[in-house]
Structure 1
Amino acid sequence: MVQISFTLPIPHDKKAEGAALQLAAKMGLDPAMLVHAKQMGTGFTFFVVYGRVNHLVNLDEVTVVERDYPLLAAKEVNSTVRANLRRKLVVVGACIGTDAHTVGIDAILNVKGVAGEKGLEYYRELRVVNMGAQVTVPDLVAAARQEKADAVLVSQVVTQKDAHLHNTREMSAAFRESYPESKRPLLVVGGPRFDESMAGELGVDRIFSRGTTPREVASYLVHALSSTAAKEKKK
């Protein structure tokens, strides 16, 4: 049983309610029941429809990106950085292109954090540079070089015409052109419309989607950078 909501560009009357039920039936709800209808401004009606669908979900065909690293507490993050890097881990974050939505990047970087978790600025062994919004890719690369960044975090909320994908590809290409592969900082992007499985296609190391917390990001950074440091020691 599912409940869906939608708006149709017609005024609210009996015919509009019938149209809503017809649409629900075409979407596979059978039987469908109209549980709410309300006029929304001039010439629009909002509907809530409840009904049964008969489609099957095959869990064997569901692919997701599983977390392949341990989720660490702040003390564990700090101690891991001290033990493996023997210096502070430097993170540069920004919203690139014309994106002015800093809520996501601020939630991850700022001390206040999100969902009861402190942001990366809270971690003693992390040094965070938050460049804010509407940062150009060349400026981001320049800042990463100046700060000797270990990781670059980019938030993208604006998605019209796939702007988040174009900006991410431009950013990853610029970093790969500016750095030798062994010296390039980790490239991490996040936003509600990203598909976490597209990291390789977009040229970044990790994608975080909706609901990500600062602790998850911090744990990933120390895991990835500690693994790299360990490989360098073996050489």
Structure 2
Amino acid sequence: MEKRQVIEDRRCALKPTAQDSQLETIMAYGDTLDDGWIQLSFTLPVAKGELAKQAAAQLAGKMGLEDVGVVFMQELDPRFTFFIVYGRCRHTIDLSTIEVVEVQVKRMDYYQINAYIEEKIGRKIIVVGACTGSDAHTVGIDAILNMKGYAGEYGLERYPWFEVYNMGSQVSNEELIAKVIELNTDVILVSQIVTQKNVHIDNLTELADLLEAEGIRDKVILIVGGPRISHKLAVELGYDAGFGPGTLPPDVGSFAAIELANRIAVNDSGSKKVKH
């Protein structure tokens, strides 16, 4: 009985209270509120050993961490070592000063999205997706579009009210636009994994400019996704939405369905596309 009570007490201690949810100034949480303990991992170009360990500790110290402890190190090869360190960070964050720009849309599940499209739009939504430029990584766009999906969620190809065309990798912006025009596309989904030297910025900007030049930018819903993509960045580049890490097919599907329905409502029935 006592053991069970201890377990319940621990569970209660981990639950956020009403007071916690109203906090504005916060610190990192390690074991207790505002203790500032954090875990950090990185690699140094030095052979594993005491010298490497001290170098890792000093680097963490220069980052502003106190009471630093190197708790793990692993040789990657004779010239590189991977570290995990713990340390106390005294910095605080004032949540009230943070401006958040994110996709504001109700997230629906697979069945709700299909029902919504059937009721509000009455035809299939045409989606064209591609990894553009020199980007050869399709894992992101495949997770969203492929029928098997990702993390237990079906990809948009599985949705009966989406008509999906996945063009794959290393697709030029010109090729993508040609396909968009050919199919009378509703939604363009671009994936950008490679971001070295901000090559994704140039590529995404070019696509938006080319769509404007073709006179079809306002006729499509333009979405970009990737590990270093945020909604704020996407909007700044002229896109309708941006999705980053952790995005699942229903997130994109919900936005596409609601955004298209809203546009059709605004444009009235006179500009509504013919049902496929």
TM-score by length of 1: 0.94
Higher relative contact order (CA 8 A, sep 6+): 1
The alpha carbon displacement at 1:67 in A equals: 3.9
Superposed CA RMSD: 1.6
The alpha carbon displacement at 1:169 in A equals: 0.6
Match of 1:15 among 51, 58, 61: 51
C-alpha separation in 2, matches of 1:85 and 1:79: 10
C-alpha separation in 1, matches of 2:250 and 2:193: 20
Q: Percent identity?
A: 42
Instruction: Determine which structure has more spread, i.e. the larger CA radius of gyration.
Output: 2
SS at match of 2:253: helix
Give yes or no for contact 2:129–2:189 (8 Å, CA) kept in 1: yes
The alpha carbon displacement at 1:91 in A equals: 0.4
Q: Mark the runs of 5 or more structure 1 residues left unpaired by the alignment.
A: none
Q: Which moved more, 1:219-228 or 1:75-84?
A: 75-84
C-alpha separation in 2, matches of 1:177 and 1:164: 20
C-alpha separation in 2, matches of 1:181 and 1:172: 7
Letter of the structure 2 residue corresponding to residue 175 of structure 1: L
- Matched with 2:84 is 48
Runs of 4 or more, structure 1, over 4 Å off, are none
Give yes or no for contact 1:36–1:49 (8 Å, CA) kept in 2: yes
Give yes or no for contact 1:111–1:119 (8 Å, CA) kept in 2: yes
1:61 and 2:97 correspond: yes
The alpha carbon displacement at 1:181 in A equals: 5.0
Match of 2:164 among 116, 128, 141: 128
Letter of the structure 1 residue corresponding to residue 119 of structure 2: A
SS at match of 2:133: coil
- Matched with 1:201 is 236
The alpha carbon displacement at 1:216 in A equals: 0.6
Per-residue CA deviations over 1:27-58 (Å, capped at 9, x if unaligned) read 11111112122333123222221111101111
Letter of the structure 2 residue corresponding to residue 160 of structure 1: Q
Per-residue CA deviations over 1:67-94 (Å, capped at 9, x if unaligned) read 4221112232222222332221100000
1:230 and 2:268 correspond: no
TM-score by length of 2: 0.80
Match of 2:153 among 117, 127, 130: 117
The alpha carbon displacement at 1:234 in A equals: 7.5
Per-residue CA deviations over 1:166-216 (Å, capped at 9, x if unaligned) read 11111111111112454x211100000113212222111100001100001
Letter of the structure 2 residue corresponding to residue 164 of structure 1: H
1:167 and 2:209 correspond: no
Give yes or no for contact 2:110–2:154 (8 Å, CA) kept in 1: no
